[in-house]
Structure 1
Amino acid sequence: MQTGWMRTELVSEPGDPGRPNEDFASIGLPASGQGGSLVVLDGVTPPQGDYGCLHSVSWFSARLGGALTELSVSLRDLTLTEILSRAIRRVAETHAGTCDLSHPRTPQATVVLARWSATEVEYLVLSDSALLVESTTGEVTALLDDRLARLPRASLATDAVADATVRNKEGGFFTAAADPSVASRAVTGTLPRDSVRALAALTDGATRWTEKFRAGGWSELLALVRKEGAQALVDRVRALEAADAEERVHLRRSKTHDDATVVYVEL
């Protein structure tokens, strides 16, 4: 049984208030009191034009995230890989009859999924969102799927090149779209529950503080969230984006503001 208290915090802010937030975040705490789970998705914005689907990316993120939230707390006998596979299949079946799910830009998302019990913490990371784990001794480890970051920049020069050569392809990178087998490509693992003090799951709109602007390392990012809250991290990212909007020293070709989501859990 879960004992003592637990601090949880969730912030998700769109990059553009005039557009739907394509991120999804949830924390599941079963009524049984046995453990819990967190889900963070970053919906992948498609380029302009037809992407084979009648539905929006936010529609997809909401359904995949909802399925992951339910399955991660109700089917504790399944691994996180099996849960992601089942959730992808469930969502695909809801629109396979109306949409071209083979299109390379069919709605898709990055995934961070973590689940804890009295004895262990399981994790799954797919694509470029991040899961930070703080140990009981204060060490912070970033659990990342870094395949996208390791690709030659030429393979990402245009959307067409990326879609044809590396998106959801062997030797490239993978996202959760319509193929359940992609779940086996995720970075997964299990940690002893008594070695983990806190978890922080972030979309790349929030990890910009470390990865793009180099304002601090992963340990400093987690310390900021613990001390000042998840909203403080997002606010600092927004300030850095605004300051770099003209020169684009750090932003370069990236959108000025991205959807930013932070989920923080102290176990």
Structure 2
Amino acid sequence: MRVALSTLPADPDRDNEDFAAAAPSAAVLLDGAGVGGAETGCTHGVAWFSSTLGSLLLRGSTAHPARPLADCLADSIGLVRSLHEDSCDLAYRASPTSTVVCARVGAGALEYLVLGDSSLLLAEKDGGTAVVTDRRLDEVGKRLRGPVDALPTGSPEHSAALADYRNALTGLRNRPGGFWIAGPDPRAAEHALTGSVPLDSLASVTLLSDGATRLVDRFELADWQEVLTVLGSFGPDELISRVRDAEDGDPDGRRWPRGKAHDDATVLHWVLS
């Protein structure tokens, strides 16, 4: 098994709120939900939350290989909560959150968990592909983001509309009719997408934050098979470079309306055979 990992912050002067790591039998990727400098109630910040939760999840999922991944995630959320509930206001409505993708090899199968809008790309030995993405945030967002998409990215009016959009999303997270994401409450893990795939059917597994999937799901400049070709021939650095090239060519979001001109982008490509 071989792992290639690349990550790039949206802005070199700001923390990268993505986190990814791998062990011999598991890999995790988290995309911390940044709030654009707004108050979170947490003295540690979003990057701390995603990296701490990711590290604990990787440890828990490998130390307890028979424990379901959703239970491992709930355990890890609870541990992170215990680390800062005495110093931070975890009841604050904008407390840090993160997407989660976890993949684990065991007993002839690859188990997976996806929570939030990061993605798991499965490459099958017969040439097929399958993508697991939690679309609940996208579905909620479509109802709310019209004013954001109508304005030039980075303009004062866009920034104000984006703040309103994020505020509305915060009121819908981790509740029925909204979307689910890892935050202060371990019960969010119950709503993760989980499953397993026979290990001998897979050639590779790729974990991607939504900043890296833009090339496919927002810009529509490639399909998943083309992404796998780039990863196999050039590696994750090249995939992120192509995302950045597209973003740089549309800085105002006129061609591809979006909340941020650039986003943290992370790719973990795990070749299984």
TM-score normalized by the length of structure 1: 0.91
3-state SS, counterpart of residue 151 of structure 1: helix
Verify: 1:149 aligned to 2:138, yes or no: yes
The answer to whether the Cα contact below 8 Å between 1:204 and 1:260 also exists between their aligned partners in 2 is yes
**Gapped runs of 5+ residues in structure 1?**
1-5, 30-35
How far apart are the structure 1 equivalents of 2:167 and 2:240?
Answer: 31
Deviations 1:201-222 (A, max 9, x none): 0000100010111011112112
- For the residue of structure 1 that corresponds to 2:71, the secondary structure is helix
Query: What is the CA–CA distance in structure 2 between the aligned matches of 1:16 and 1:47, rounded to whole Å?
Result: 12
Q: How does 1:11-50 map to 2 (within 5 A)?
A: 11-29=6-24, 36-50=25-39
Say which of 244, 260, 264 aligns to 2:265: 260
Once the two structures are TM-superposed, the CA of residue 8 in structure 1 deviates from its matched residue by 1.2
Q: Report deviation, 1:160.
A: 2.2
C-alpha RMSD of matched pairs (Å): 1.4
- Aligned residue pairs, count: 254
Secondary structure in structure 2 of the residue aligned to 1:148: helix
How far did 1:248 drift? Answer: 2.6
1:73 to 62, 84, 98: 62
- Report the CA distance between 1:247 and its aligned residue: 5.4
1:26-59 Cα deviation digits (max 9, x unpaired):
0111xxxxxx100000010024432211111111
- What are the superposed Cα offsets for residues 226-260 of structure 1, whole Å, 9 maximum, x if unpaired? 1111100000000000001145311x242111110
Superposed CA offset, 1:111-152 (max 9, x none): 000001251100000010000001111101001111112226
Q: What is aligned with 1:182?
A: 188
Q: Distance in 2 between matches of 1:25 and 1:152?
A: 25
Cα distance, 1:155–1:213 mapped onto 2, change above 3 Å: closer
- Are residue 173 (structure 1) and residue 168 (structure 2) matched? no
Structure 2 CA distance, aligned partners of 1:117 and 1:243?
Answer: 43
2:3 is the alignment partner of 1:8:
yes
| Correspondence 1:225 to 2:215 | no
Q: Which amino acid aligns with 1:186?
A: A
Decide whether the 8 Å contact of 1:104 with 1:167 is kept in 2.
no
1:145, 1:209 → 2: CA distance? Answer: 18
Deviation at 1:159, TM superposition (A): 2.1
SS of alignment partner, residue 244 of structure 1 = coil
The DSSP-based 3-state class of the residue aligned with 1:103 is: coil
**Which moved further from structure 2: 196-205 or 150-159?**
150-159
Which of 125, 129, 133 in structure 2 is aligned with 1:140? 129
In 2, Cα distance between the equivalents of 1:160 and 1:74?
38
Q: Counterpart in 2 of 1:114? A: 103
Q: What is the alpha-carbon distance in structure 1 between the residues aligned to residue 170 and residue 201 of structure 2?
A: 40
Maintained 8 Å contact 2:50/2:97: yes
Instruction: Work out the CA distance in 1 between the residues paired with 2:269 and 2:36.
Output: 31
Partners of 1:152 and 1:52 lie apart in 2 by 24
Using the alignment, how far apart are the partners of 1:221 and 1:253 within structure 2? 21
Provide TM-score, normalisation by structure 2. Answer: 0.89
Deviates more, 1:91-100 or 1:43-52: 43-52
8 Å CA contact 1:132, 1:142 repeated in 2:
yes
